[in-house]
Amino acid sequence: MASINIPEFCYPGSQQIVLHDVCIEFEPGDAVLLHGDNASGKSTFGRLLCGLLRPQFGNVLVDGKEIWRLRGRKRVRMAYYLDQEYLLSFYHSTIGGELFHAMHLGGRKFDQSIWINEFSLPDNIDIKPLDLGSCAAWRLGLLCATFVSPKVLFIDELPSIQSASVVECLRKTVQQRKKAGEITVVSYQRPIILENIFTQEYMLVDGEVKK
């Protein structure tokens, strides 16, 4: 279970209110769609939910723990933030390096060749992530998140090109996480039509969450 209860949030040094009156509880297996315009607060919401930002007021809990207090592997296993700037999120020079790092974080072993095929990635894991196209790089980021298997996964935006492979990878990931009782939150600028996938849907308007 996870919850986010933020009466008000401003970035340090700013008086501009980015989020206010945010109060949501997530149950195990929830798949949530969060949509809203640019600058509506989606990324800030995700960073708070994943412990990358510390709330000045209120709290963000995952399994009863204040997520921002956790560090390193403990935090990532609890909550994983898949940045919309996913090409800048890769720390290793090859696809294989990224995948093995994610498996290490998740404490799991997988037959990566099967997963690479399912996520439509190149068989050659020595390719540099930065040499992939934007959709393939996003699929790699999603596969890494799947290997980590966090209790909460926040996917910050989808590629602007909604290819069939992007939609199918998202569907597979959400379905698998629902079965495992893990929480998935996907943010996007407009509603996504994926039948029988999302259990809840919210809209962010001027920093306020509306159902």
Which of 19-23, 87-91, 157-161 is least confident? 87-91
- pLDDT tens per residue, range 162-207: 667 788 888 889 998 999 999 999 998 765 666 678 889 999 988 8
What DSSP assignment string belongs to 111-172?
-HHHHHHHTT--S-TTS-GGGS-HHHHHHHHHHHHHHH--SEEEEE---SS--HHHHHHHHH
Whether the CB-CB separation of 82 and 154 falls below 8 Å is answered with yes
Note the pLDDT of residue 110: 58
- pLDDT tens per residue, range 44-79: 999 999 999 999 999 999 999 999 999 988 999 999
Note the pLDDT of residue 188: 84
- Average pLDDT of every residue of the chain: 86
